[in-house]
Structure 1
């Protein structure tokens, strides 16, 4: 993949998955704008990328408002002359069950994940349309947004919204040759290390330097940060031309295309449906095979 001459902005790229995305894009030749709320993390990431002979700039900002989004775009244009790729990765967690989640918990997560994706994508799309040479919007979602997850009302709602925006913007930006896709990554990060079923295997891998076991890499689709970054580079490249409006999963040895919601079963009643008619026919009709929900609990072999 050759991204020389292109510029990418990656939000939340001072560490973790975001830093991995920034490094991968830089390794393919792209100039990169690094963003984080931690100035030291931004400086370290910029120095790391620059040490490989690739141009990088940093923006210390909490994404969410329009001003921060515009700063990212303006920095890309000022430092490197253009903007070609936006990866919206920044995120936080405020996990609590519904009856314990505060307004502040909800608003903080929605602001960083959902509103920041909107404001950053809007600013990037305006610039890309002005340039007239197309572009790539890569929006980071989560399995929680696809299936729901216990204790993550705010996070799941925001990540589901990210996928919905990708589908909408794929239509709106098609004439401008701007593709929009959602990525659903799974990787061994500080967050996944806390999951009891994963923690022992991740700890053993880190201690020995051996790869994660096959049951994790294949069945659970869980691997390293580097296992995820290839998809980001692909979606930023010419090789992904025509790939748009999709939700694509990546992790470990696993690459997957997520299905979009659609009607699974349909029934008709002349004159419409009363509550009694629905109750009479639900379990043997439309509701005979209800959908599952929630992220399936992982199970190691023999567990």
Structure 2
């Protein structure tokens, strides 16, 4: 993927998946604006890229506000003269069950993930439309946003909302030749090391040990670098006709998620649907089509 001459912003790119995305974009030739709330972490990420021959600068700001989003776009234009690619990756976790979750915990996650994705995309879209040369917007979803997860009300809401916005933006920005897609990555990061069934694999990667095929293929779990190629692909000319899609990636697994669709349909004959009628037909016509919640994970080999 040749991204020479293009300029990218990657939010939350000081470490983990964000750094992997930024590094891969730079390796393909793009100049990158690194973003993090920690100045030392951001500068370390910049050194990682520049010492490998890439071009990068850091913009230290917490995403969420319109002012922060505009600062990122302004930095890209001031340093590199334009903007071509936005990767909305910044995120935090404040996990707890519904009955224990505070307003502050809910708002913090939604502000960073959902509002941050909105404000950054709005600022980028304005600039990209002014340039009139197309562009690429890549947003980061999660399996939690697709199917739910215990203890993650705020995160599930934010990630599901991001995918909804992606589908809308893909329509709104099509005439400007700006594609908008979401990826659903699974990788060893600070976020996944707290997941009990993934922790052994996170520890194995940290120790430099290879992951078993079950982890890489069935769970779709690997290193951040394993999930970075799809970002460079979506940022490239090869993906010019791909928009409004949700792509899963992790380990050795690449997937395309479906959009929500009706899985069972019954029609009344001009009478509408009284509750007792629904109760009568549900067991036969709808029960077998009910959808599971949460990730349906395979059992590890014995």
What range is the shorter-chain TM-score in?
over 0.9
Find the counterpart in structure 1 of residue 139 from structure 2.
139
| 1:126 maps onto 2:126 in alignment | yes
Find the counterpart in structure 2 of residue 226 from structure 1.
225
Residues 115-170 of structure 1 show CA distances to partners (whole Å, capped at 9, x for unaligned) of 00000000000000000000000000000000000000000010001111110000
Alpha-carbon distance, 1:249 to partner: 0.1
Partners of 2:266 and 2:224 in 1: CA distance: 45
Alpha-carbon distance, 1:204 to partner: 3.2
Alpha-carbon distance, 1:102 to partner: 0.5
Pairing of 1:129-278 with structure 2 (within 5 A): 129-207=129-207, 209-270=208-269, 271-278=271-278
RMSD, aligned CA: 1.1
* TM-score (ref. length: structure 2): 0.97
Q: Is the 8 A contact 1:197 1:300 kept in 2?
A: no
Partners of 1:239 and 1:199 in 2: CA distance: 35
Alpha-carbon distance, 1:295 to partner: 1.5
Find the counterpart in structure 2 of residue 40 from structure 1.
40
Alpha-carbon distance, 1:299 to partner: 3.1
Q: Which runs of 4+ in 1 moved over 4 A?
A: none
Q: State the secondary structure of the residue aligned to 1:262.
A: coil
Q: Is the 8 A contact 1:187 1:224 kept in 2?
A: yes
Residues 172-220 of structure 1 show CA distances to partners (whole Å, capped at 9, x for unaligned) of 000000000000000011222232222223323433x332110000000
* TM-score (ref. length: structure 1): 0.97
Q: Is the 8 A contact 1:26 1:32 kept in 2?
A: yes
Tell which deviates more after alignment, 51-60 or 160-169. 51-60
Pairing of 1:54-73 with structure 2 (within 5 A): 54-73=54-73
Q: Is the 8 A contact 1:202 1:212 kept in 2?
A: no
Pairing of 1:9-88 with structure 2 (within 5 A): 9-88=9-88
Alpha-carbon distance, 1:54 to partner: 1.8
Q: Give the length in aligned residue pairs.
A: 301
Partners of 1:288 and 1:243 in 2: CA distance: 34
Partners of 1:205 and 1:8 in 2: CA distance: 28
Specify whether residues 284 and 106 from structure 1 end up closer, same or farther in structure 2 by C-alpha distance, changes over 3 A only. same
Partners of 1:278 and 1:131 in 2: CA distance: 54
